[in-house]
Every structure is written in structure tokens, then in C-alpha cells.
Amino acid sequence: MHTVLLRKLLEALLTLFFATLIIFALIRLAPGDPVRLMLGHPGEIAAQGTSAYDEKVAELRAELGLDRNIAVQYVTWLGRLAQGDLGTSIFTGKQVGSEIAARLPATVTLSLSALLVQIALGLIFGMVAALRSGKLADQLIRVACVALASTPAFVVGLVALALFAVKYGVYEISSDFSAARLWLPALTLGVLGAPQLVRIMRANLLTEFGKIYVSSAQSRGLDRKRVVRHAARNALIPLVTMVALSFAGLIGGAVVIESIFSWPGIGKYALDSILVKDYPVIQGYALVAVLMVVLIHFLVDVVYSALDPRIHHKGEAGREEKA
Amino acid sequence: MKRRLNSKNPASLIIGLVVLAILAIAILGAPLLAPYDPVAQNAAERLEKPSEKHWLGTDRFGRDILSRTLHGGQTTLLSSLLALCAALAIGLLVGMAAGMFHGSALDHILMRIIDVLLAFPFMVFAMVIAGLFGTGLVHLLLAVVSVWWVSFARLTRSVVLHAKNETSYAAAKVLGASNLAIMRKELLPKAISPVLILATFELGTLILSIAALSFLGLGAQPPAPEWGSMLADGRAHFFQAPHILIGPAAFIVATVLAFNLIGEGLRDRLDPYEKLEL
């Protein structure tokens, strides 16, 4: 078991390493001189061309080590990252790391709450659809899921805002991170993500219902509720991955909802930074988002090997099956 | 058992195809069907609600939203389709190579690249591209292609791995067919239908993602008559005149719905996909 986890850990670290390479390469490929970019976009800087500006450029170039060769630059950059130094924002001059850390709780709170809504809806409607499969309830749930999965998140978000904030006035429009403002974005995000879980829960349950242990339990006259409970438990295990991946998706995908509801999370911070071309913030955001995704994937592997003893032995083979 | 449960699916395939056909006619026939010039401004008719004269109302420059939506659909749909085809081609190639040489160094490297890209949520990647290289439809599509091929590559690889267990593959090997010939004649035909089904679903997701990024101001920039830029424009005036946003949004919903329905209908017709669900 430990060797499997150790290998997973190494894989996660390797993924992170390559991710930093990609981000570093993208920054270097971006048009323009990174130093001038860091000082502000050309054309937006009135001071450009003055001797003070050139001096600042040379100073920053040396400070960042950009006058050295590219491998050295990468290693230096990586070293800073390892110490948690994500650089400073061009726009505010504040530390990107601490700015992101300050906004992370808002994003994580929103994502976790949305996840709970998703799981609740997924379990309830998935179970109903499976139990009533082929009947009216199943068809209705199916239609609702397809319709919801075809609707852009911003439409749902804006309609929710128009209804609850503008029409009924029960939701406060501000940019605070408070418990009173959490429910609407969390519900919106949760409802939007639910169709996927409903479908998988339904499919898993139907697969379990078709297995021999269910028919044998039924033929022995076991209480229907008990049989369903057993099947449901087995159907839940594969759901762990889905839920975790969904959480990882929420961290990155909550941007639209954060933006609509002015929820002060990292997505909104990154978005505001893109519009003012604040490069260090964008880079920091990408790194933090990737770090979280990799961490979540690794945790799934850990949970899995704790849940399912077969994985200890199968390792790569189990993985093939999943793929 | 599954077959019986999904007996309603021919309906979803037909409805999807009909909706798509209507949309395609409306959008491709935009120059003939659109009642107004999509860029003609009319200061006297700004922000008008939907009426008999302007079915979907007018925007803040008095331009007819229906005409803009029909014309804009060409750019949006063709560019999404183009990006998807590029991603699909890369995915097929990579997936076939990785599956064909399963276990080799090439396979390991390709799978590692895929793992890394999977760690980048698409929205995050697109935001990074927009942030570093500038906003706009072209950059958005580049971001789409760089990340989106991964799902096709994974599916193709697993199809290939299954196909390699079959006797026809062994026969081709024994007869001394070259790797290239096996890939072309044996593996590609097997991979193509599940990949195309995945593509119908992905096209819906893709259009939604592009719409979301455009809504955030990272896609095509106004005044182009394109759905994304119309969304970005409509956002600013949503509470004042919600119909600006609703027009293009309704077309997006219809398009995505059509592709999702077609995907659902097709998926249930093809058995192999059921076993290879991603």
C-alpha cells in the first residue's frame, strides 16, 4: 500500500513540476519583455522612455535575474515559489501570495457549500430516477438534467440575482464575504453541477440493481428498503472520485458565479487582474489552482486505497480500468 | 436491460437533429433571413423591448438583436467547430500512438503530458492565456485546442487498448501488417465512432465554456456581431434591459441542447461507448 501511495505522491510532484514548466514557458512566450510587462503594459505607462523608466527596467531585470540564462532563471523562480513567494502585484504592489491566501477562504467556502448542494441533489434525484427508472419521474428528472446542463452558468446566476436581489429583495448586493451572502451563489453553483452527479448516481444504482446479490436478496424475500440501502452503499464508492473531481472543477469554475455575485474569491481576483494585465497575479492564480487540483487528485487516490483494498495490489491495472 | 430503459432515446436524437437543422438553416441563411443589417445603428430605437418590429428587441445602439444573433452565430459556431476539429485530430493521433505503443516510453511521456493538462482546469488555462497574451476570440480558441484534445486522446487510447485484445488485431500482426497500416485500417475505424460521440457532447460544453469566458469579457470584443461579445455587452445592461442577453443566450441554450440530445441519442446506439465511458 505504501509503495502505491509513494508512487502517487511522486506522480503528483512530477505533475506539479511540469505545470510550473508550462506556466514559466507561457510567461516567457507572452509577447513583450517580461520586465516591461511587469512594470505595466507598454503604452499605458506615461513614464516610458524616460531615463527613470530605463533605470527601473535594468534594476528589475537584475533583481529578477532575467539577465542570466533561462535554466538559471527557471530554477531561481522555482526556488522562490517553493518558499511561497509568488511575487508582488503590479497594480497594488502587495504580495500576491498573501492576497490569494486572503481570498482563498471565500472560494473554498463557496465551493464546499456548492458541493454539498450538488451531493444532496445528486443523491436524492439520482436515487429517485433509478428507483422509478423508465417511469414519469425518471423522464422528468432526465429532461431537467439535460436542460440544466445546456444552460450557461451566467444565465442561471443572473436570473437568480434578478429574482432574489432585485425582485424580492431578499439578497444583499455587495462584495462582502459573509455567511448571509453565501446561500444564493452556493445554491446556484450547486444546482448547476447537480445533473452530472444525478446521472452517475442513477447509472451506478441501476448497475448495482442488476447484480446477482440484489436479485438473490430479493428472491429470498428481503425487505426492499434494505436491499436498496445495500445497493446504494456500493453505488456510492465510485462517486467519491466524481465528487472530488467536481470539487476541483469548482475551484477553477466558480469564476463566473464569483463574478456575478461579486463573491470576493480568488477567481474574481484573477479576473480583475486580467483586465488590468496584472501578470504576477495571473501566474500566482494559475499556480494555486493547479496546486489545489493536484492535491485533490492525490487525496482521492489516498481515500480510494483506504476504501478499496483491491487497489493496493492492482495499482496500474486498476488505473487502466478507470481510464 | 439498459437498452429497454433508454427506449425513449430515438426521440432525443430526432429532436436534437431537428433543432440543429433549424438552427443551421437560420444561422447559415442569416444574410437572407435576418430582418435588419446586423451592424446598422439606430439611435431612435435604443434598448427597445422585443416587439413585432424587433422580435428580440434592440441593443444600446439600436441594432436589431435577432439579426445580430443570426449573423453572430456563424462566427461562434464555425470557430467552435474548427477548434473542436483541431482538438479531435490531435487527440486521435496522440491517443492512437499511446495505445499502439502501450507501455513504451512514448506512451509514458504522452500520458504524463495528459496528466499535467488535466491538472489545469480549462477556465484557469483560458484565463492565463487571456491574461498573458490578451483577450480575444483567437486566443480563446487556442486555449481550447491546447487543453481540449486530452479527453479525445484518453478515449482513443482506451479504445485502442481494447481493440488490441481482439483477434483481428492479432491476425493483422501475424500477417505482418505495418504499425501504420494497423493504426489506419484496424484501430482508427474502431476509435472514430466513440470519439465522434464524445465530440458531440464536448461541442456543447465547449460552446458553453466559450460563452462563459466571453461573458467575463475574455472572448471576442465588441462591436463584432458574435454571441460572446453580445453576451459581454448584454451583461453591462442586464438589469436595465435583460433582453439583450436573453437573445443570444436562448440561441446558445438551443444549440447546446441540440448537441446534448444528439449525443445522448447516439451514445445509446453504440454499444462500445457504454463500456468505455469516460
Q: What is the mean pLDDT of residues A102-124?
A: 93
B210-269, pLDDT tens digit by residue? 888 888 888 877 777 788 788 878 887 888 888 888 888 899 999 999 999 998 888 777
Q: Does B231 touch chain A (CB under 8 A)?
A: yes
Distance CA B197, CA B266 (A): 7
Q: Which of B132, B147, B200, B278 to mutate to test the interface with A (most CBs of A within 10 A)?
A: B132
Please answer yes or no on whether A19 and B123 come within 8 Å at the CB atom. no
Do A257 and A188 meet the contact criterion of CB atoms below 8 Å apart? Answer: yes
Predicted local confidence at residue B278, as pLDDT:
39
H helix intervals, A132-238: 136-149, 153-161, 183-209, 212-219, 224-236
Q: Does A11 touch chain B (CB under 8 A)?
A: yes
Nearest to A307 by CA among A236, A229, A213, A245: A236
CATH number for the domain running over B79-244: 1.10.3720.10
A70-85, pLDDT tens digit by residue? 888 888 888 888 888 8
Please answer yes or no on whether A162 and B238 come within 8 Å at the CB atom. yes
Q: Does B172 touch chain A (CB under 8 A)?
A: no
β-bridge partners, A88: A95
Q: Does A297 touch chain B (CB under 8 A)?
A: yes
Spell out the domain ranges in chain B: 79-244
**Selected residue with higher pLDDT from B50 and B92:** B92
Predicted local confidence at residue A41, as pLDDT:
54
A217-243, pLDDT tens digit by residue? 888 888 888 888 888 887 887 787 778
Q: What is the mean pLDDT of residues A13-34?
A: 84
Distance CA B132, CA B139 (A): 10
Distance from CA of A52 to the nearest CA of B (A): 25
B110-143, pLDDT tens digit by residue? 988 898 888 888 888 899 998 888 888 888 899 9
Put simply, the chain A residues between 155 and 174 with a CB less than 8 A from any chain B CB are 155, 158, 162, 166
Amino acid at A308: D
**Over 70: is that where the pLDDT of B4 sits?**
no
User: Which residues, including other chains, have CB under 8 Å from residue B184's CB and lie 6 or more apart?
Assistant: none
| Chain B residue at shortest CA distance from A34 | B132
Please answer yes or no on whether A147 and B257 come within 8 Å at the CB atom. yes
Please answer yes or no on whether A283 and B128 come within 8 Å at the CB atom. yes
Distance CA B99, CA B114 (A): 13
In chain A, residues with a C-beta closer than 8 Å to the C-beta of B260 are: 146, 149-150
DSSP secondary structure code for residue A95 in this structure: B
CA count, 13 A, side-chain hemisphere, B204? 26
Q: What's the mean per-residue pLDDT of chain A?
A: 82
| Chain B residue at shortest CA distance from A246 | B121
β-bridge partners, B58: B64
Predicted local confidence at residue B2, as pLDDT:
43
Q: What is the mean pLDDT of residues A5-30?
A: 88
Q: Which residue has the cell 446521472?
A: A199
Please answer yes or no on whether A26 and B128 come within 8 Å at the CB atom. yes
Predicted local confidence at residue B98, as pLDDT:
92
pLDDT band at A49 (very low <50, low <70, confident <90, very high): low
A285-310, pLDDT tens digit by residue? 999 999 988 998 888 888 877 776 66
Q: Which residue has the cell 442569416?
A: B30
Q: Does B184 touch chain A (CB under 8 A)?
A: no
Put simply, the chain B residues between 110 and 149 with a CB less than 8 A from any chain A CB are 112-113, 115-116, 119-125, 127-135
Q: What is the mean pLDDT of residues A100-107?
A: 92
Please answer yes or no on whether B245 and A158 come within 8 Å at the CB atom. yes
Distance CA B221, CA B231 (A): 10
Q: What is the mean pLDDT of residues B17-42?
A: 87
Share of chain B above pLDDT 90, in %: 19
Please answer yes or no on whether A320 and B161 come within 8 Å at the CB atom. yes
**Choice among A191-200, A311-320, B43-52, B156-165 with the minimum mean pLDDT:** A311-320
Q: Which of A8, A23, A96, A146 to mutate to test the interface with B (most CBs of B within 10 A)?
A: A146
Q: Which residue has the cell 494497423?
A: B182
Select from B8, B130, B261 the Cβ nearest to the Cβ of A274.
B130
Do A152 and B211 meet the contact criterion of CB atoms below 8 Å apart? Answer: yes
Distance CA A176, CA A314 (A): 48
Do B152 and B95 meet the contact criterion of CB atoms below 8 Å apart? Answer: yes
Predicted local confidence at residue B6, as pLDDT:
47
